Amino acid sequence: MSSYLLRVQLVDRPGSLGSLAVALGTVGADILSLDVVERGSGYAIDDLVVDLPAGAMPDMLITAAERLEGVRVDSIRPHTGLLEAHRELELIDHIAAAGDGDAKLKVLAEEAPRVLRVGWCTVARISESGLKRIVGSRSAPETEATSAPWLPLAHAEALDGTADWVPQVWRDMDTTLAAAPLGEPTTAVLLGRPGGPLFRPSEVARLGYLAGIVATILR
């Protein structure tokens, strides 16, 4: 079996999610979990973790889903994380139980990608001498940004992944970005999602809440 994280936008009406489940079932997909990412006027954005039988192609999921009226697949990517309830709370517990400030930041960087469903996480600080990466997840790109015109940062926000400060290799991978201040405007948590999708407002807000709690723990 292979697991995939499928992000779909669908019409928010009774029975739409059930129809999607049936459609995915026709290609042998087994839905393991569902998270509501965002709801708006007449639509919903959902993340589904699904299992496919060995040898089945993930493109089958897109074809099956988009046969339904009002359904669009935003993205699909392999899913290797554990399925956990209350992921943010567990991350906060792990950070609080870590040693000094550096150890806490390392836990944040390593576990945030799984919790927030992104490719990588770094913590960076801007000073008179330039931008310094304090810590990064194992999946963080070796190529670092050398400037951050978006710092200081007052609140969590999605960043322009095509801006001049973004390293070319990040742009080549179509990396979408979001950041939040970590206790002070010149220090930030930066998330990268190679290949997208774009960060939804609810995801940015979620990052902001998490960063605020972590900043309190660090103090």
Considering 78, 99, 125, which residue would you say is the last residue of a domain?
78
The reported pLDDT for the residue numbered 82 is 53
Distance of CA 140 to the CA centre of its chain: 13
Q: CB 207: neighbour CB atoms within 10 A?
A: 24
- Which strand (E) or helix (H) includes residue 59? helix 59-66
The reported pLDDT for the residue numbered 85 is 45
Q: CB 55: neighbour CB atoms within 10 A?
A: 7
Query: Which domain, by its residues, includes 69?
Result: 2-78
Interstrand relation of 176-181 and 187-193 (parallel, antiparallel or unpaired)? antiparallel
Residue from 148, 143, 144 nearest 160 by CA: 148
Q: CB 47: neighbour CB atoms within 10 A?
A: 18
CA angle 146, 152, 155 (to 5 degrees): 120
pLDDT digit string (tens) for the chain, length 219 residues: 788 999 999 998 878 888 999 999 999 999 888 888 888 888 999 989 899 988 889 999 999 999 999 999 999 988 866 544 457 778 888 999 998 889 999 999 999 998 898 999 999 999 888 899 999 999 999 999 999 999 999 999 999 999 999 999 999 999 999 999 998 999 999 999 999 999 988 899 889 989 998 998 888
Same domain, 114 and 203: yes
Q: Which residues contact 24 (CB under 8 A, 6 or more apart)?
A: 31, 48, 50, 61, 64, 65
CB 25 within 8 A of CB 15: no
CATH number where 174 lies: 3.30.450.40
Same domain, 136 and 172: yes
- Structural domain tally of the chain? 2
Same domain, 67 and 116: no
The reported pLDDT for the residue numbered 39 is 85
Same domain, 163 and 66: no
Same domain, 72 and 91: no
| Whole-number Å distance between alpha carbons of 49 and 14 | 21
CA–CA distance from 154 to each of 38, 185, 198 (Å)? 23, 6, 21
Q: Which residues contact 152 (CB under 8 A, 6 or more apart)?
A: 126, 181, 184, 185, 186
CATH number where 44 lies: 3.30.70.260
Considering 44, 60, 78, which residue would you say is the last residue of a domain?
78
Q: Which residues contact 74 (CB under 8 A, 6 or more apart)?
A: 7, 8, 9, 45, 196, 197
| Whole-number Å distance between alpha carbons of 14 and 34 | 16
Considering 78, 96, 117, which residue would you say is the last residue of a domain?
78
